[in-house]
Structures are given as C-alpha cells and as structure tokens.
A and B are shown apart, each in its own frame.
Chain A
Amino acid sequence: MDSSNLQQPGIFAGLVAIIRRDLLLAWKRPGDVLNPLFFFAMVCTLFPLAVGPSAEQLTFSGPGVLWVAALLSTLLSLNSLFMSDYEDGSLDQMLVSPQPLPVLALGKTIAHWIISGLPLVLISPLLAMTYRMPTAVMGILMLTLLLGTIALSLLGSIGAALTVGLHRGTALLSLLILPLAMPILLLGANTVSLAAGNDVYGTGIWALGAYAIASISLAPYATAAALRISNE
C-alpha cells in the first residue's frame, strides 16, 4: 500500500485526539486526578494549624497560602505527565508520528491542565472561604489561578520532558521548575493580596495573562525539543 494515499489527519484533529486520549486515561484512573486535589486541600489545612486560627492572620496569609499550595500541587502532578507514555512506549510513537511534536506536547499539556489545573481553580473558592476571603476577591483568586495554572502546566511540561526517564525525577523536577515558577507565584499571590486590600490589582492580571499566552506559544517547542533529547 502506498502510504501517500493514506488520509492524514490534520493538526487540529491530532491535537483533539491526544487531549481526548489523555482525558480518557485520566477518567479510567481517577486517583491521578484526585490526589493532587487532596494534596492542595491538605496543604491549605496545614497552615491554620501551624499559625493559629485567628481571623486576622488567616485573611492576611490566605492568598499566599492558597497560591503556594496550588503551585506545589501542580508540581506534584507534573511528574506523571510523560511518565506512563515513556514507560509503555507511547512516547516513541508520538516522536515518530507525522504530527508535529510541539502540537502533541501542547495537547498533552492541555489535557494535564484540564485534569489538574482546572479542578484546583474550581475548588479554590471553597478553601478561600475557610480563610475568610471576601466573596468579591474570590473571583480574582480564581482568575489568577486560572491564568497561573495554565502557565505552570506549560512551564512544568518543559521540566517534565527534560526529566522523563530519569531516576531522581521528582526532586529534580522541583529543583528545575520552582525557580522558573517564582514569578508566577509572585504575580498571582500579590494580585490577590492587593485585591483583598482594595488596592489597584490590574497589573498582575495583565502580566499573568501575558505570561500564560507567551507560554502557550513558546513552551510546546521547548517541551518537544526536550522530549527528543530525553528519548535519544
């Protein structure tokens, strides 16, 4: 059979296919989705236990704690981004497939965000409530987390691709990604703090949005390059 006659699916079809596949895989193993979420909730519980239940303190530290917890929980879930594909050989198939690798990497990252980032954004108001955050600020918290987790997933995908197949994966991944993720944390948490203090908070949101857009357009290329290097 002549391969040139074969109907090649378009780039968008490939993107959708890989997102559907990863979502389906996550659906079959709900633990992968729920564990980072529980982790997020637990870290948020740790802080009041450690610093005391005074309302004043909780209101003050709330945005920062929620953001740090979100960052750590994203980091936790990133480790498995390419792991199972690496182990069962699907990753090799992606590398040799006619679809452009950056698109596939983007698809996998989008799926990862839907699985780990989006639920985190959705339950954040619940946790913010326990930190006595005013309802008006919760919208800002969700917006910053929405933009921030997108950027974190994409940034993290580079790190996950660089460390896939290495034995010391998890600790190394944190070491690689945390310094890169610091601006996101700093912008996100401080924007929420500003909003809570009735201050002007626009700058942080625009900057986070710019970061998210820049990482959507640039990170998949770095991730693809890293995947090729890791699988030589």
Chain B
Amino acid sequence: MWKFFHKLASPPHFYRVAATLIPWFGIPGLILIAYGAYAGLFLVSVDYQQGDAFRIIYVHVPSAYLSMMAYMMMAVSGGIGLIWRLKLAHAVGAAAAPLGAAFTFLALVTGSLWGRPMWGTWWEWGDPRLTSELILLFLYFGYMALRSSIDDTAKADKASAVLALVGVVNVVIVHFSVEWWSSLHQGQTVFKKGTMDADMRIPLFAMLIGFTFIFGAMVLRRLRTEVLFRERRTRWVRELVLSPEGGK
C-alpha cells in the first residue's frame, strides 16, 4: 500500500499511471453526464413553481460543488506539499486552480441565469451564496496571480500553498459573515429550497458524480503536462520525447 504511494510520487511513474487512469475517470464521467443531461432536460417533469427554469440546477449545483472542492484540493495538496515536501502535491494545486476558477465562473454564470427568471434580476447581492461564490472566484484569481508572478517554481509552490491554506480558513469566515450580512438586508427574494422529488434528484446525483469524474480526468491531464513541464530538464523527459511514440 505505502509502496504504491511512494512510487506514485515519482514523476515518471506518475506520468504513466495518470495516462492509464484518465479514461477510467473520463469515460464514466461522460456517460453519467450524458445520462444526467438527458434525464434532466427531457425526462424530469416541469417544476410546478419554477417551470423549466429549474433545469439549470443540473449544471449549477455540480459546478458550485466543484468550485469548493477544487479549492479544498488546492489547500490540502498545498499542506501536504509543505509538510512532506512532495513536489507532486504542489503540482496538483497548480493543475487544479484554473479548473476550480472555471467551475466557479460557471457556477456564477448559471446562478445569474437562474436568478433572472426567479428573482427578476441577473445579480442579487442579497443572496449569500452568490456573494461568497464571487469572493471565492477572487481568491482563485489571487492564487493564480501569486503563482504566475514568482518565477522560481519551488518558491511559487510554497508561497501559493501558504495562501491557499490561509484562504481556506477564510472561506469559512466569508461564508458565515456573508450569511449574517444578507440576513440583515434580506427583503423579498431568497428562494427557499423545498425537498426534492426522487426523479429530480437522481439525475442531479448522476451529474454530481459525472462532473467529479470529469474534473478528476481534467486534473490528471493537466497534471501530466505540469509534470512534464516541471521535469523538462530531466533525462526521462528527454528520452520520452525522443522515443518513437513521441511522449505518449
């Protein structure tokens, strides 16, 4: 068991393992998303309150969930990288950050599109989840900006890991303070979620799991390039690139 992990931390080994893992994440992910999207758009009956507009939930909720999971992933891998000095852990943070930011953006856009028919406005400051999601997007921007402004990779890794850890503590505070704040300003709009029907819920679960798998596949793919880039001066990369398969 431990031996497997120790071996995995070695870049050339990881590079090969990741290649075999990607389809194992990608294919189930695609199937689940295809099913979830079809069921969510066509099979699930129209909501009696929201009409067809609620169907955006099948994209919105998985993106919002992934936006937070990616941040946790960055923070945890940053912590692992700082404590055990694993370079691969830092590479995970670097690979996950733009994906996390993309999912945060997607969650914001779909949330805003959903808000238009529900609340009558594209943006509702009174909703705590929208506001804290926006702050999360800024946290991602800060993380990526810090990473890109330090030239030395090892230094950028550690500095951004510290930032991610500080940020993860703050995300909790952001959540509670925004909740308190919006309860002060709450006028008309908060949309209360009732219990969901089972046939509505199953496609949502499929989408959640599918999105997670696809996210896993994308992280692995980005990690492979990241590892290749970081190890560009080593022998195994040179041999790999010069080999007949050309880096497959």
Contact = CB atoms under 8 A, between A and B. Distances in A.
Interface of A: 158, 162-163, 166-168, 172, 175-176, 178-180, 182-183, 186-187, 190, 194, 203-204, 207, 211, 218, 222, 225-226, 229-230, 232
A162 B163 contact: yes
B184 A190 contact: yes
A178 B169 CA distance: 15
Given A179-B167, A190-B184, A203-B180, 10 more contacts: A158-B163, A167-B149, A168-B149, A175-B142, A179-B138, A180-B167, A182-B135, A183-B177, A222-B166, A229-B158
Interface in B93-140: 135, 138-139
A226 B174 contact: no
A176 B177 contact: no
Contacts of B142: 175-176, 179
B138 A229 contact: no
Given A179-B135, A186-B178, A194-B184, A229 B162 contact: yes
Interface string B131-169: 000010011011001100110001100110011011101
Contacts of B166: 158, 180, 222
Nearest to B177: A183
Contact of A225 (B141, B154, B162, B174): B162
Contacts of B141: 175
B87 to A, nearest CB: 15
Contact of A162 (B138, B159, B181, B184): B159
Contacts of A187: 177, 180-181
A163 B147 CA distance: 11
Nearest to A179: B138
A158 B163 CA distance: 8
B135 to A, nearest CB: 5
A97 B231 CA distance: 36
B184 A176 contact: no
For A180, A187, A207, A226, the residue with the greatest tally of chain B CB atoms inside 10 Å of its CB is A180
B135 A230 contact: no
Nearest to B184: A190
B184 A183 contact: no
A166 B180 contact: no
A98 B155 CA distance: 24
A222 B78 CA distance: 13
A167 to B, nearest CB: 8
A189 B184 CA distance: 12
A172 B165 contact: no
Contacts of A163: 146, 149
Given A179-B135, A179-B138, A222-B165, A172 B155 contact: no
Given A183-B173, A229-B155, A176 B146 contact: yes
A178 B178 CA distance: 15
A229 B163 CA distance: 12
A122 B163 CA distance: 32
B170 interface: yes
A154 B93 CA distance: 25
A225 B165 CA distance: 12
Nearest to B144: A175
